[in-house]
Amino acid sequence: MKVLAMVLAGGQGSRLHPLTAQRSKPAVPFGGRYRIADFVLSNLVNSQIHGIYMMVQYKSQSLIEHVAKAWSSSTPYTGRFVTVVPPQMREGPEWFQGTSDAVFQNINLIERHSPDIVAVFGADHIYRMDVRQMIDFHRQNSAHVSVAAIPVPLAEANAFGVIDADDRSRIRGFLEKPATPPPMPSDPTRAYGSMGNYLFDTDVLLAALREANENDEHDFGHHILPRLIKSHKVLAYNFGDNHVPGVADYEEQAYWRDLGTIDAYYDAHFDVLGERPRFNLFNPQWFINSSSYQGPSPRILRGDIRNSTIAAGSLIRDARISNSMLRREVIIEDDVEIEDCLIMDYTVIRRGSRLKRVIVDRYNVIEPNTRIGFDAAADRARYTVSDGGVVVLAKGQDVPDVTRYQI
């Protein structure tokens, strides 16, 4: 069974602004050392799917460089590769017009490899998934298309694209954020939310892409899938049945998060903190790959640090840090307090500063005695503030600054 993956990583991510002001959504950093796109790529490779095309579009340079560094062991001649594909404009001067159009514009890549199944997955989510289990479901049920579906409480389902399926998992319809979501057949308290991950029999996909192009249609969720449910066997795969090795009993077993907003992005980071995290990033049986940064171990000279992660190359002179995450080469000077914060790479926080519920993007220097997160009006005048009150500092200048080490 030959499977080819087409990963959709062209998302603009406007609701994650300013984190997406200079990068695409899949390139946004997550946790102590990852990018969002690392999760889908790791899931595919761990599932023994090694032929992967990643389609990029908006502000893609950061993602292209990351994939080259983190996934550079590709060997296309053996069918093992992760290849980034910008818009080729084979059908005209237009960029990708939607999810299905991105795949259609690269239909020649599918024809070149002649796979039995094409996995069309998004690159915007944090989760672990054994895709082989979904493939087994697809084959055992003789499906033409399988759609990954996550069970969500009915009260929360109106925030999702919801799948209406019968008791044989056959999809009857798709509803976008319905006021009264239809429940799962097996659980009246939950509904199926669409994860944006699909398996297609190759011949079905190619025919559907060509028909959509003729009809000037560009999206899987709005155009291709609603039409296919009328003529083909389109099934919902219950993500709750997916079991990844090494997941601890205390974790949320079907963990999946769409990091579509600043608040969702911020909250997901606290799911990976603590002694018993909802989503434990340390799982040797299902490794999440990222760039192999070669910097030194972090140094902590003095400080009170609680429930936090400190990434490689960081230096803490004397600080009180709680419920926070510092990425690589962060410098914290004396008498700094950081609470409930995400501090990204190459940031310097000067002495006497206080930060609470703040996201600091890369290459920032926080001047001495700065206060952020304590005065909502002042914060809104200077920075972006989310609906949930999280203050976000946009990325600074991406240039080395020797003065940052003079502490």
Structure-block tokens of residue 386: 């989310």
The pLDDT of 213-231, averaged and rounded, is: 88
**Structure confidence at residue 406 (pLDDT):** 47
The pLDDT of 192-198, averaged and rounded, is: 96
Alpha-carbon span 87 to 24, nearest angstrom: 15
pLDDT in tens, 131-184: 999 999 999 999 999 999 999 999 999 888 999 999 999 999 999 889 899 999
Q: Hey, what's the torsion of the CAs at 306, 307, 313, 319, to 10 degrees?
A: -20
Using pLDDT thresholds of 50, 70 and 90, give the confidence band for residue 91.
Answer: low
Alpha-carbon span 146 to 139, nearest angstrom: 10
Using pLDDT thresholds of 50, 70 and 90, give the confidence band for residue 58.
Answer: confident
Taking alpha carbons only, the member of 13, 218, 206, 234 closest to residue 110 is 206
Residue 270 or residue 12, greater confidence: 270
Burial of 185: CB neighbours in 10 Å, binned 0-12, 13-18, 19+ = middle
Helices assigned H by DSSP within 341-395:
376-382
Alpha-carbon span 99 to 163, nearest angstrom: 18
Using pLDDT thresholds of 50, 70 and 90, give the confidence band for residue 2.
Answer: very high
- Helix or strand or coil: residue 385? strand
What is the CATH architecture of 299-405? 3 Solenoid (2.160)
Residue 79 or residue 377, greater confidence: 377
**Structure confidence at residue 94 (pLDDT):** 61
**Residues contacting 239, CB < 8 A, separation 6+:** 129, 148, 149, 150, 151, 195, 254, 256
Task: For residue 284, say if its preceding peptide bond is cis, omega within 30 degrees of 0.
Answer: no
Q: Characterize the bridge pairing of strands 34-35 and 256-258.
A: unpaired
- pTM of the shown model: 0.94
**Structure confidence at residue 294 (pLDDT):** 83
**Structure confidence at residue 402 (pLDDT):** 45
Structure-block tokens of residue 105: 């514009």
pLDDT in tens, 325-367: 999 999 999 999 999 999 999 999 999 999 999 999 999 999 9
Contact 337, 323 (CB under 8 A): no
**Structure confidence at residue 75 (pLDDT):** 60
Q: What kind of fold does domain 3-258 have according to CATH?
A: Spore Coat Polysaccharide Biosynthesis Protein SpsA; Chain A (3.90.550)
The pLDDT of 276-284, averaged and rounded, is: 96
Highest mean pLDDT among 153-167, 288-302, 375-389 belongs to 375-389
Alpha-carbon span 139 to 204, nearest angstrom: 14
pLDDT in tens, 36-51: 999 999 999 999 999 9
**Residues contacting 203, CB < 8 A, separation 6+:** none
**Structure confidence at residue 407 (pLDDT):** 47
The pLDDT of 300-320, averaged and rounded, is: 96
pLDDT in tens, 255-270: 999 998 999 999 999 9
Alpha-carbon span 29 to 278, nearest angstrom: 19
Q: What is the mean pLDDT of the chain?
A: 92
Q: Is 103's pLDDT higher than 80?
A: yes
Highest mean pLDDT among 16-25, 62-71, 210-219, 235-244 belongs to 235-244
Domain locations in the chain?
3-258, 299-405
**Structure confidence at residue 295 (pLDDT):** 84
Instruction: Determine which of 8-17, 43-52, 85-94, 124-133 has the lowest per-residue pLDDT on average.
Output: 85-94
Q: Is 240's pLDDT higher than 90?
A: yes
Question: Where do the DSSP E strands lie in 323-363?
Answer: 325-326, 331-339, 342-343, 348-349, 354-356, 358-360
